[in-house]
Structure 1
Amino acid sequence: MTRSPATPLPPPKARRRLRESAALTQPQLATRVGVTPATVRAWESGRTTPRGRKREAYAKLLKTLAEEEAARLAKQEQEREREREQEALPEPKPEPKSKSEPVALTPAQAFDALYAFSAPALVRQTFLLTGRREQARESVERAFQTAWERWPEVARDRDPVGWVRATAYEYALSPWQRFRPRHRHPEPPPADPGDRTLLNTLLRLPPRHRRTLVLYDGVGLDLPETAAETEASTPATANRLLHAREAVAGRLPALADPRVLHRRLAELASNERLRAAEPPAVRGGGERRARFRTRAAIAFTVALVGTTALTARTAPTHYEPPVSPGQAVRGVPHKVAPGSLSDEELELRQKLRDQMQDGPERLSPRLE
């Protein structure tokens, strides 16, 4: 029996774009397909792929949304064409805007607002992951600098804070951090003994379990959102969370209750004096890093072009066979190069050159 090919689906980003263009939430789309919102979130992130009847229903719904989007675009194009035709007509004087209307923000202002709103909390959360104050601040600044470089993408994201948080956590938990000279010098622990014990317990957890615990019990995300941010399945995320809670409760039995653990994590992060840099300084640092990378790329390209040109100039244009090494022939003596002549040999050579080439004169007998 031949199995029919699966219905093609658009890429994960296109699926999310079609849903958002139709003003549908993930729970609404999940209801229309007959699945859970977590399944739709996994489909749109690319972590899983629908199969069977669910794939057919999902593909049919996406096709309908694409047709509706094409119809809306065609209608908008007609409206723009109608506006072009009316450009020649005198335009009425626009009415002054009321003070209650929101003012559009520039990209820099929107970035500064996002940074001022979320940076302090992100620095405290990252401190729970690393136990290092300076590394937590640097991780958040690097994440915001990356967000400023990709600001059009971040600004359109449905959760810009989550985008920056995931980038900061990945930078803070990078295995390359252990090779930095900063890790050779430990930072002073928290002053409170309870905070010090809790922080040491967190740092003993594996990085994935620690991140899952901070996201779920510290930040307050639900299980599907935690799974999506850590790029793991929901069962795996639940397993990591249970193991992390068991490890914490094993050393600190008073934190077995998740509500108490959430309160203690918030207190531990709030007791530390963690400050974030000003938004203009973060934007300026990101722009300097971007200029440095651009100049380095240009310098590398110029060096590569120069090396290629030099190689093409000096490389041989034809094949030259190598000279075979000499071999001794039996019975034939080696050719010896003449050396310098001595004084006697030079005198003899000059004497021979002065004489006639035909030899000495012939002797004839004479009578005496």
Structure 2
Amino acid sequence: MTRSPATPLPPPKARRRLRETAALTQTQLADRVGVTPGTVRAWESGRTTPRGRKREAYAKLLKTLAEKAAVQAPEPKPKLEPESRPQPQPEAKPQPEPEPEVEPEGKPQPQPDSQPQPQPVAAPEPVALTPAQAFDALYAFSAPALVRQTFLLTGRREQARESVERAFQAAWEHWPEVARDRDPVGWVRATAYEYALSPWQRLRPRHRHPEPPPADPGDRTLLNALLRLPPRHRRTLVLYDGVGLDLPETAAETEASTPATANRLLRAREAVAGRLPALADPQVLHRRLAELASNERLRAAEPPTVRRGGERRARLRTRAAIAFTVALVATTALTVRTAPTHYEPPVSPGQAVRGVPQRVAPGALSDEELELRQKLRDQMQDGPERLSPRLE
């Protein structure tokens, strides 16, 4: 059974431009499609892509907005160049001479201040950053916090650090898209969480050796309660009570509806409160999550190291793809070179061999054959008789 091709959609930047041209807010567009405003924000930023019926409804609405924008667009009027005619110069009028000011008697005039008046200082022009400088600034600002948040999801320090580095390497590969995103930290955070919670992490040799737990007994108990939650519930709890996102933003980042996200959050809070009744209050839970993440000594690599690692990984993937392509071309060429170029007839059928006597049906035995059979029967076939003691 083949799948039908997905409905094409314009780029994320064009989606936002069509909505703004139609004077629609994200909430109004979300009501038409049947999703949350956070989901529309994620679609327009490129972090997520609509699927299924929502994709068809969204594409149909964007097509309608594009048609309306094309109809309402006015046709450009041709510009007429003015004729080159000399313009009349205004006559210069004589300026009246200023009359001398007469100072009134008996009243002292205020003397001007001898100190110069302060001149307004122009605001410094913003300095344009290079892509590497902008990436380094984003990494220095958000990497330490993202490592602590990812530690709450995995309970492993090295895995949290590696997940954040991989997410920033992916951001450096797609830097033009990430730099124009309205929430670049959210883009990196979603990528880091996806890598950290991937089921393939269980197959790595590092996952077989547990890391030392936190030194504080309370932190160790809270971390164990978090790790016992399902991955989706754990991620929702960390985003809402740990990071501090609201419910629509949490639903958009986890690619779920708002009711489903609220249900996951309530179930996660109930599970944590069942193990730790003191954390039933959301404010207390938020404070304890922040303390658990800040008590661990988590380190992050330097920005140039992350950039060079991403570039090295991209070069290795490119070289591997080139080597695979070369090997495939060489194998194809060898197959073409060694393949037979002419038709080989099959093996001819078998023929009867002449000179062999025909098989004769069995009949009566001759006297010699009867004598030989009797001789063979009379001889002992099992060896000599066994010696047994006898009484004398």
The TM-score, its normalising length taken from structure 2, stands at 0.69
- Contact 1:18–1:66, Cα closer than 8 Å, also in 2: no
CA contact (8 A) 2:242 2:290 kept: yes
Evaluate the alpha carbon distance shift between residue 32 and residue 46 of structure 1 in structure 2; reply closer, same or farther with a 3 A threshold.
closer
Q: Take 2:328 and 2:61, find their aligned partners in 1: how far apart are those partners?
A: 53
Aligned 8 A contact 1:125 1:214 in 2: yes
One of 321, 325, 328 as aligned partner of 2:345: 321
Which residue does 1:219 correspond to in 2? Answer: 243
1:293 alignment partner, one of 296, 304, 317 = 317
Partner of 2:384: none
Which position in structure 2 is the counterpart of 1:312? 336
Identity among equivalent positions (%) equals: 83
Question: Matches of 1:215 and 1:234 in 2, distance apart?
Answer: 14
Q: Which 5+ residue runs of structure 1 have no aligned equivalent?
A: 1-7, 83-96, 335-368
2:154–2:197 CA contact under 8 A, matched in 1: yes
Q: Give the SS at the match of 2:166.
A: helix
The 8 Å contact of residues 240 and 246 in structure 2, kept in 1 or not, is answered as yes
Contact kept, 8 Å, 1:130 with 1:203, in 2: the verdict is yes
Deviations 1:187-209 (A, max 9, x none): 11001111000000000001111
Contact 2:9 2:59 in 1 (8 A): no
- Letter paired with 1:49: K
Question: Residue deviations 1:107-153, cap 9 Å, x none?
Answer: 00010011011100000000000000000000000000011011111
Q: What value does the CA root-mean-square deviation take over the aligned residues?
A: 3.5
Residue number among 20, 33, 46 corresponding to 2:50 in the alignment: 46
Structure-2 residue corresponding to 1:302: 326
| Structure 2: distance between partners of 1:228 and 1:180 | 30
Rounded Cα–Cα distance in structure 2 between residues aligned with 1:239 and 1:10 = 31
CA distance in 2, matches of 1:51, 1:296: 38
Q: How far off is 1:59 after superposition?
A: 5.4
Q: For 1:122, give the aligned amino acid.
A: L
Correspondent of 2:132 among 91, 108, 132:
108
Q: Post-superposition shift, 1:306?
A: 0.7
The more displaced of 301-310 and 311-320 is 311-320
Give yes or no for contact 1:12–1:43 (8 Å, CA) kept in 2. Answer: no
Residues 39 and 252 in structure 2, CA contact (< 8 A), matched pair in contact too:
no
Of the candidates 146, 166, 187, which is equivalent to residue 190 of structure 2? 166
Partner letter of residue 100 of structure 1? Answer: P
Residue equivalent to 1:340: none
Checking the alignment, whether the CA contact within 8 Å between 2:190 and 2:253 is kept in structure 1 is yes
Q: Deviations over 1:80-111 (max 9, x none)?
A: xx9xxxxxxxxxxxxxx966111111100010
* Cα distance in 2 between the residues matched to 1:262 and 1:31: 32
TM-score of the aligned structures, taking structure 1 as reference length: 0.73
1:308-355 CA distance string (max 9 Å, x none)? 1111101112331321353435x5549xxxxxxxxxxxxxxxxxxxxx
State the 1:64 CA deviation. 4.0
Paired residue for 1:26? 26
Name the amino acid aligned to 1:142: R
Q: Closer, same or farther in 2 for the Cα pair 1:20/1:270, shift >3 Å?
A: farther
Q: Say how many residue pairs are matched.
A: 305
Which of 1 and 2 has greater Rg?
2
Secondary structure class of the residue paired with 2:240: helix
Q: Which runs of 5+ in 2 are unaligned?
A: 1-6, 82-120, 358-392
C-alpha deviation, 1:258, in angstroms:
1.0
* C-alpha distance 290-35 of structure 1, shift in aligned 2 (>3 A): closer
Q: For residue 171 of structure 2, what is the aligned residue in structure 1?
A: 147
Distance 1:332 1:236, change over 3 A: farther
| Matched letter for residue 19 of structure 1 | R
- Structure 1 counterpart of 2:89: none
Q: 1:118 is matched with which residue: 139, 142, 146? A: 142
Moved more, 158-167 or 13-22: 13-22
